[in-house]
Amino acid sequence: MTAPIVSTEPATDDEIARIAIGDVDAVLTRARNAFPEWAAQGTDARIAILRRFANEVRDDAEDFARLIARETGKPFWEAKTEVSAVVAKVEISVKAHEERTGTRALDGAATGALRHKPHGVMAVLGPYNFPAHLPNGHIVPALIAGNVVVFKPSEKTPAVGRRLVEYYHRAGVPADVVQFLPGGAEEGRALTGDARIDGVLFTGSSTTGIAINKALADRPGIITALEMGGNNPLIVWDTDDLDAAATIIVQSAYTTAGQRCTAARRLIVRDDLHDALMERLLPMVDRIIVGAPFDEPQPFMGPVIDNQAADGLLAAHDALVAKGARVVRPLRRVAEGKPMLTPAILDVTDVADRPDDELFGPLLQIIRVADLDAAIDAANDTAYGLSASLVGGSRADYERFWQLSRAGIVNWNKPTNGASSAAPFGGTGLSGNHRPGAYYAADYCSYPVTSTEADTPEAAIPVGLKD
């Protein structure tokens, strides 16, 4: 028998749960059989069930947030915001479904109609950084559209994934319509490669997303929505409010211990503004509290997900230093043997051939430049294209930055992260495949069907026939 997944708390290494690996074949058989009845229900009936789901989560919000905080290591205050996002997703998805996939008549020479159909069985693969909110962002619109879902959470956060599915079932979503499939990479490959799957909705690393894309390259009928990583730039330019700029940098780089796909990885600053900005930024970075989820006072940053992730970040930090990066604030463990890391800053201006990697943690790289053209070039010097932000500058500077930025999210005087669920979310290049999620998730959860219609057969051939 395959060993179960053992879930532990990053902050304490205490065991949370032991969960048996799921049976991919059995789960898909049940999903395939459940699809016709669920799809045949009216949209209003499905929406009513999902509103009950929102109420189930709302009623259990405190306990759910505690589980999220324990399994991810994120501060309790932040886990509460994730639960709120899970609840809010239902009404946002209802509105998006009505707006983007509604039924309407088509005017023309013949009577016509536009309607939408669900795809069928959707595989949802979730990440560990937002183990409830991000997969929920796929699952809710998929269910509203009439699809059934097989959900494989990250093997690092299976307990949150299991609880999320329990809330759907408590609300009245049939057991075979949303199924929990615990497992690792092997189960993920088996699930996404199975012929009974009609769609793959993925949030996670670019490496895994590319592997999924390659595996499905000869199956163009499979809808694939890939939400992947980012090597996101934040430019600080002409601004008199360096305190606000420093706050935006901290929020962008270190929220969720830097474990957000939209986190700022690269701080690009005008050379003659650099020293004044550092005078504001470094004292704030030094004040960041790193700790366990339920510590008092509440920490700003918890641990990264596990020691494997921490080791990888420390190795990347050391590799950049070996290439010539100047240490402004080092990346180091807060406590031996635990994945709690200090917020780090490296100046990589003079590093040749900087790696274009998503370093998924609290490690910010500074690049000093002479002018805005160089800043925009540096911002675009990446194969990723998720989020970018300009702090300071004029409206004309921002419009130029917006026009030239290769990113799906382009902000002005705001952090790179914290995107609204009421807007589309996604990127280009290694960050996504042009199927943005969040508000636009409705677009990939069903497909349009156009019809021309008449109550009785009507046809004529006016030319080209013999008498």
Would you say how long the chain is, in residues? 467
Per 3-state DSSP, the chain is made up of helix, strand and coil in percentages (nearest 5) of: 40, 20, 40
Calculate ∠ Cα 299-248-323, nearest 5°.
85
Nearest residue to 276 (alpha-carbon basis) of 320, 318, 239: 239
Distance CA 430, CA 383 (A): 6
Helical pair 274-287 and 242-254, crossing angle rounded to 10 deg: 50
Distance CA 307, CA 292 (A): 15
Cis peptide before 343 (omega within 30 of 0): no
H-assigned helices in 101-241: 133-145, 158-171, 185-192, 206-215
Q: Encode burial over 185-203: b for 16+ CB neighbours within 10 A, e otherwise.
A: eebbbbbbbbebbbbbbbb
Catalytic one among 56, 71, 261, 445? 261
Note if 62 is an active site residue: no
Residue listed under structure tokens 């259990």: 60
Q: Which residues contact 465 (CB under 8 A, 6 or more apart)?
A: none
Note if 445 is an active site residue: no
Q: Tokens for 57?
A: 């989560």
Q: Tokens for 313?
A: 């970040």
H-assigned helices in 201-258: 206-215, 242-254
Q: How many CB atoms lie within 10 A of CB 170?
A: 15
Strand partners, 410: 388
Catalytic one among 56, 78, 155, 227? 227
Residue listed under structure tokens 């690393």: 205
Cβ distance 101 to 446 under 8 Å? yes
- CA 221 vs. chain centroid, Å, equals 24
Catalytic machinery residues: 227, 261
